[in-house]
Chains A and B, each alone.
Chain A
Amino acid sequence: EAQLVEFGGGLVQPGGSLRLSCEDSGFTFGSSSMNWVRQAPGKGLEWVSYINPGGSVTYYADFVKGRFTISRDNAKNSLYLQMSSLRAEDTAVYYCVREVPRCCHYMDVWGKGTTVTVSS
């Protein structure tokens, strides 16, 4: 089964920026819709962003719109999340998630996540 591995988490000051990456070891990345989903410590799941297989369509949760940018490089089997103007409430584990194949915005394969901590 395809494996998703996230990179790039860490400690950043409020107002700072961070770029998350996700590498897909499978063979179908270029035909897969991808998402970022986050989970704050001890809290529930929050959908963050979506990108279609070609990278031409993106959507964002209201709480990150204008601050985060999702992108992908299919030649590198990689997904990215550029985060700026970070706030304490952005502290969470960020998961790279592949949607159910040939379907419809349900989450199928999850990476193990990368932790982002926003603190001074």
Chain B
Amino acid sequence: IVLTQSPGTLSLSPGERATLSCRASQSVSSYLAWYQQKPGQTPRLLIYDASNRATGIPARFSGSGSGTDFTLTISSLEPEDFAVYYCQQRGAWPLTFGGGTRVEIK
């Protein structure tokens, strides 16, 4: 299953709303996760099963979608949120990641 993330880069200012998209080449039901990766760090799980926040993840992060279309929303960007975001599906083997969306400071 191919996951296509868009846009490739999102240029926004702190306090703005970020909307990231992940589209699957076939249905993965709700079996999709989102990760955040900052430079020099390993990824951190944000959202699992499309809409469930992982432990310790702030409420400004939310996920939605099912089937083939998914969205990660950051309601109001904090300085520490500028990073690369990946989606990952577990709907079928092999597991796959999307290509990533970079959220950069405008």
Contact = CB atoms under 8 A, between A and B. Distances in A.
Residue in B33, B42, B43, B48 whose Cβ sees the most chain A Cβ within 10 Å: B42
A106 B59 CA distance: 20
Interface stretch (B14-22, B61-69, B70-78, B91-99): B91-99
Interface in A32-55: 35, 37, 44-47, 50
Interface string B29-68: 0010101010000110100110000100000000000000
A95 interface: yes
B82 interface: no
Interface of A: 35, 37, 44-47, 50, 59-62, 95, 100, 103-108, 110-113
Contacts of B54: 100
B98 A106 contact: no
A93 B43 CA distance: 13
Residue in A61, A62, A107 whose Cβ sees the most chain B Cβ within 10 Å: A107
B95 A105 contact: yes
Contacts, number: 56
Contact of A60 (B33, B43, B94): B94
Interface of B: 31, 33, 35, 37, 42-43, 45, 48-49, 54, 84, 86, 88, 90, 93-100
A44 B99 CA distance: 6
21 contacts: A44-B97, A44-B99, A45-B88, A46-B97, A47-B88, A50-B93, A59-B93, A59-B94, A59-B95, A100-B54, A103-B48, A104-B31, A104-B48, A106-B33, A106-B45, A106-B90, A107-B43, A107-B45, A107-B88, A110-B42, A110-B43
Nearest to A113: B42
A67 to B, nearest CB: 14
Residue in B86, B88, B95, B100 whose Cβ sees the most chain A Cβ within 10 Å: B95
Contacts of B90: 104-106
A35 B97 CA distance: 13
Nearest to A50: B95
